[in-house]
Amino acid sequence: MPMYENEIRPERALLVSVDTGDFDAQVSIDELEELASTAGAVTIGQVIQKKEAPEKATFVGVGKLAEIIAFCQSNEVDLLIFDSELSPSQQRNLEKLTGVRVIDRTTLILDIFAQRARSSEGKLQVELAQLRYQLPRLAGQGTSLSRLGGGIGTRGPGETKLESDKRHIRRRIQKLEEDLEAMEKRRHQMRKRREKDSVQTVAIVGYTNAGKSTLMNALTDAGVLAENKLFATLDPTSRALTLPDGRQVMLVDTVGFIRRLPHKLVEAFKSTLEEAASATLVLNVCDASDEHAAEHLEVTQKLLSELGYEDKPIISVMNKCDKVGDIYSMHTFGKTVMISALQQKGFDELLTAILKELPPTRRKVELMLPFSQGAIAARIRNEGAVEEEEYKPEGLYMRAIIDIALISQVEEWLI
C-alpha cells in the first residue's frame, strides 16, 4: 500500500543557492530548509554553487542547471526553492527548462505568513505583500493568471486574485492599502490613548522560534500559540503585565525576524512592527542554545534600527539557558537577563530588569490621611489603584499605587 494513499504527499523540494560571498550560504540554506519544513515540504537535497554573481537568465550556471535537471528527473522533485529573490524572467526560464515549479525565498516566507495570519490586519498584510510581489511576475502568463496545481507558494488570500487581470489586481492593491491605512490610524489612536493614560508598552521582539510566545504565555497567561516552528505566530498580541511595584504595562508580542528578511515583507508589516518601534522598552529574545545566537541578536538589532528604534532601552533576554553549559561565555548586547521561559526560571530577574529600565511613573505607598483630606483620598481612588482602605480612629489608612506626581502632595502622611 502506498504510504500516502489516503493523505496528500508532502511536496519534495530541492533547495538551491548561489554563494557570492555576501552571506554565509550554508547557514542561510539550512534556515531555508527549516522554512520549507514549516511550509509543509520535505527537503530531499541542497545545491550550492559558488559564483561571483548569479546568471541573469537562469540564476545558476549551465553546468549546475544540468545537474539540477538530472536530479529532479531521478528523484521526483516537485518544487525548486531558491534561497534568493528571483526575477520574473529567471523564474519562467527555470520552470521551462526543469519542468518543475520554481519559487524563491520571498514566496516561501509569504506562503508561511499566509498560513499563520489570523487577524484581519495580518491577512490583509499578507495579501498585499503577495499581490505586490506577484504583479510583475504575471507577464507572459496570458489571460489565465492563476498558478494551477496548488502547493507551497500558491496559498493564501492572494491566490484567487491571480485569475483576474492586472487592472483588477492593481485595484485590489489600492483597496488593501486603504484598508490597512484605516487600521493603522486606529492603531495610532490606540497608541495615543495609551500614552495619554500613561500606559507603558514593553515589546517582545527577536528571531523567529526564539521562544517569544512561550515567554508571553508564561508572563501573562495569554494563550498564544507556541510551536517549535518558524513564524508559529504572526499576529501581534497585547496583554497586561503586572510588575513587582504594582503597576501594569502592556506586553506586546510581534512577528519574528529571520536572516535576510525580504525588504518587501518589512514594509508590508511595518504597521505591526511599529508596535515595537513605539514601545517604551524592548525585550530582544534570543535562543541561547542556538549556535548562531549572537548573529540572531545582531539581525534583530539591525531591524530595530531600520524601524527607527534608537536611543531607547533594550534588554537582551537569553532564553533556553537551561540547555546551555556555559551561559557566561555567550556574546550579548547591553543589559542581559538569562531565563528559561518553558521552565519559568529567571523571571524575577527579568521583571526587576524591566522595572529598572522603565521610567518610574507610579509607586506603592501606605498613607494615614486625616479625615479632612477627603479630596486627596478621592483622587487616589480615581487615579491610582487602592489595595487596602480602612477607617481608623486616627484617620483613613490607605495602601495604594499612586502616580509619582502625587507623592509630594501626600508626603507628610506617608507611613
Query: pLDDT of the chain along its 415 residues, tens only?
Result: 444 444 577 899 999 999 999 888 998 999 899 889 988 899 999 999 999 999 999 999 999 999 999 999 999 999 999 999 899 899 999 999 999 999 999 889 888 877 777 667 778 878 888 888 878 776 544 433 444 445 666 665 544 444 556 778 888 889 988 888 887 787 777 766 666 556 788 888 888 777 888 888 888 875 544 444 444 444 557 788 888 766 778 888 776 777 777 666 666 666 556 666 678 888 888 888 888 888 888 877 777 777 777 677 889 898 888 887 666 666 666 688 989 888 888 899 999 999 888 877 777 888 899 999 888 888 888 877 788 888 999 999 998 888 777 888 888 898 8
pLDDT given at position 293: 83
b/e string for 347-379 if b means 16 or more Cβ within 10 A?
beebbebbeebbeeebbebebebeeebeebbeb
* DSSP conformation class of 285: E
Show the cell assigned to 282.
524592548
Which residue segments constitute the domains of the chain, with CATH numbers given? 12-110 (3.40.50.11060), 119-179 (no CATH), 198-357 (3.40.50.300), 362-413 (3.30.70)
> How far is Cα 100 from Cα 69, in angstroms, rounded to an integer?
9
Show the cell assigned to 246.
504594582
b/e string for 170-209 if b means 16 or more Cβ within 10 A?
eebbeebeeebeebeeebeeebeebeeeebbbbbbbbbbb
At which residue does the C-alpha cell 495570519 appear? 117
> How far is Cα 374 from Cα 173, in angstroms, rounded to an integer?
59
What single string gives the DSSP state of each residue in 222-271?
A: ------SSTTS--S-EEEEEE-TTS-EEEEEE-PPB-TT--HHHHHHTHH
> How far is Cα 240 from Cα 248, in angstroms, rounded to an integer?
6
Q: pTM score, two decimals?
A: 0.67
Q: At what angle do helices 105-116 and 25-39 cross, to 10 degrees?
A: 40
Side-chain half-sphere of 214: how many Cα atoms within 13 Å? Answer: 24
